[in-house]
Amino acid sequence: MTDANNRVADAPLVSIHGLTVDFHTEDGVIRAVEDLSFSIPRGGTVGLVGESGSGKSVTAMTLMRLIPQPPGQISAGTIDFDGLNLLSLSERQMRSIRGKRIGMIFQEPMTSLNPVYRIGEQVAEVVREHDHLSRRAARDRTLELLDQVGLPRPKQLIDSYPHELSGGQKQRVMIAQAMSCEPDLLIADEPTTALDVTIQKQVLELMGELQSRYGMSLLFITHDLGVIAEVANDVVVMYRSHKVEEGETRALFKQASHPYTRGLIACRPGLESNPQRLLTVDDFMTPEGQSIEVSSERLTPQVKRSQAELETSPVLLEVRDLKTYFPVTGGLFGKVIDQVRAVDGVSLTIRKGQTFGLVGESGCGKTTLGRSLLRLTEPDHGDVIFDGVNVTAANEGTLRHLRKRMQIIFQDPYSSLNPRMTVADILMEPLRQVNPKGSRSEHRDHAGDLLETVGLHTSHLGRYPHEFSGGQRQRIGIARALAVKPEFLVCDESVSALDVSVQAQILNLLLDLQHEFDLTYLFISHDLSVVNFISDYVGVMNQGQLVEYGTAEQIYKDPQQDYTRRLLAAIPKAS
């Protein structure tokens, strides 16, 4: 091989130099990416890390030339892909590369897959476009791809619609679609964020196998450094549109130089040990980006109470043999042909002032159990005893009174907050139910106090939900739940959709509120690290049943069930 050929082989597949991307809005120009430079080696994996709004996804969309122009504008820089300057290509030229040589797995498969087309048609479309196969040959290739990504019964699933598949299955379809033409570069934009840890592990292993098989390069975008530690050779860290750090993955985890990177590493809960309060990015840097020395107080290790200490608290809520089933109908007249046992004979106790963590994969019945406790979903059998009152047998008047004492924080704060109501109206609505004789000014003052309690400002009262970040919306959801001064809160996946630093802030806030108001929590999550940090007791659910139950220390140090051990083994190790 000549020296020239060696230089080509050694050259990175992708080189980004000085990339700057702006968006023109009514409020002015927003710089989404500024002077970004990094490269992706042939056959290697680069992790692009940062919180929402840092510019990660804009970088990926620019690489694919999918930025809408206007309002977007690539103001400066070059993107070299295997000797081609992608930013100088026409749209027609780019179409021959997009999907064929550069594939992309988008963050949310449900919105990326067309709901009116069968999944086989959507995968086959890419193959027919780029490889010019016949309809029959494209279907055979699609079956082969669905089998390669580990989908069960591909001959049956090929004719299914997206809504008929689970989240993990839809993500596998997206991988099959992105891999259909064996691309040189695969861009994976938060491909595992919404998945359970076991499904996440399967997807990461699958992507590793496909990368080895096809020798492709991978740009893996995420806010989770634990995942990056598992998959990436090198890491690029972005913060507020800038690259703040870059390096080999292991070296970066051992000795990160930028305070933002140190904050991202530290704010993720662990299984071995945790501080009493999670560290956040704000503990490592000022808003201006200056480094802060973390005080030793913030590093004081968390000490879990023993079972004997925990049992001194009185029982606030007791669940006895609770069952909630959903009918499955079929046929012309909607006859009941089966039933889904969402909650199937669950019994547990939750003590006053404590947190009971409920973990399990999607579909195990966690959310249905939480809703059944409050009778937002009517249970079919069993008893829920709250402070001596049988919730399941309560009449409408008693239940209305109990609802003041038992509240819920929903998983998605955006869909649970009315987009047509201001924050003031959202918070005043429950206040009017509790105190109908109070004046509007009294209710508004109380709403302002609630915002201050959850770390927001009274000036936010006049805004609408869409004007807030995800973490701020979750704080508004918490404020609304606190409005009626409850004793018991169901936290249903209340931090699952948040960046790790924002997640740490919300977990710290929940702990502060628990101590201030003597609250009792049922904390529902698929993230075992988070549940370990916040919980006193932990229950593990599988297929509608509570398969393991004990103190957090017992569950994590000595799990008794194979299912629990599999969940623990699937957690990415950020080291």
> What residue ranges define each of the domains in the chain, with the CATH number in brackets?
307-327+341-569 (3.40.50.300)
Q: Helix, strand or coil for residue 5?
A: helix
- 70 vs 47: CA distance, rounded Å: 29
Q: What is the pLDDT of residue 497?
A: 67
pLDDT truncated to tens, each residue of the chain (575 aa)?
A: 334 344 344 689 999 999 999 988 777 888 889 999 999 999 899 999 988 778 888 899 899 898 888 888 899 999 999 889 999 888 888 888 888 888 888 776 666 788 888 888 888 888 787 777 788 888 888 888 888 777 777 887 888 888 877 666 777 888 888 877 778 898 988 877 666 777 778 778 878 887 888 888 999 998 878 888 888 999 999 988 899 999 999 998 888 889 988 888 888 887 777 778 888 888 888 877 788 887 766 777 777 888 888 889 999 999 999 999 988 776 666 777 777 888 999 999 999 999 999 998 877 888 899 999 999 999 999 999 999 999 999 998 899 889 889 999 887 766 788 888 999 999 998 888 877 787 888 889 888 999 988 888 888 898 888 887 777 888 888 888 988 899 999 998 888 767 788 888 889 889 999 999 999 999 998 888 889 889 999 999 998 999 999 998 889 888 999 999 888 888 776 65
Please, which residues bridge with residue 197 across strands?
A: none
CB hemisphere CA count around 33 (13 angstroms): 29
- 268 vs 504: CA distance, rounded Å: 7
- 403 vs 399: CA distance, rounded Å: 6
- 4 vs 15: CA distance, rounded Å: 18
Please state whether 182 falls in left (phi above 0), alpha (psi between -120 and 50) or beta.
left
The CA-based angle 513-310-197, given to 5 degrees, is 70
Residues 371/377, Cβ–Cβ less than 8 Å: yes
Longest Cα pair distance anywhere in the chain, in angstroms?
87
- 498 vs 506: CA distance, rounded Å: 9
Q: What is the pLDDT of residue 575?
A: 55
Burial letters 234-257, b for 16+ CB under 10 A, else e: bbbbbbebbbbbbbebeebbeebe
Sign of CA dihedral 286, 291, 292, 298: positive
Which 8-state DSSP code applies to residue 314?
P
DSSP secondary structure letters along 280-309: -GGGTB-TT--B-PPPGGGGPBP-PPPHHH
DSSP secondary structure letters along 146-210: HHHTT-SSHHHHTT--GGGS-HHHHHHHHHHHHHTT--SEEEEESTTTTS-HHHHHHHHHHHHHH
Residues 534/357, Cβ–Cβ less than 8 Å: yes
Residues 394, 397, 398, 403, Cα dihedral to 10°: 110
Q: Helix, strand or coil for residue 127?
A: helix
Q: What is the pLDDT of residue 351?
A: 95
Instruction: Classify strands 72-81 and 488-492 as parallel, antiparallel or unpaired.
Output: unpaired
DSSP secondary structure letters along 410-434: -S-HHHHS-TTS-HHHHHHHHHHHH
Contacts (Cβ under 8 Å, ≥6 apart) of 316: 350, 351, 352, 386, 387, 487, 488, 520
Which 8-state DSSP code applies to residue 50?
-
Nearest alpha-carbon partner for 535 in 563, 571, 507: 507
CA separation (Å) from 557 to 196, 271, 300, 536?
21, 9, 21, 14
DSSP secondary structure letters along 367-396: HHHHHHHTTSS--SEEEEEETTEEGGG--H
Nearest alpha-carbon partner for 278 in 260, 312, 313, 302: 302
Nearest alpha-carbon partner for 349 in 549, 169, 133: 549
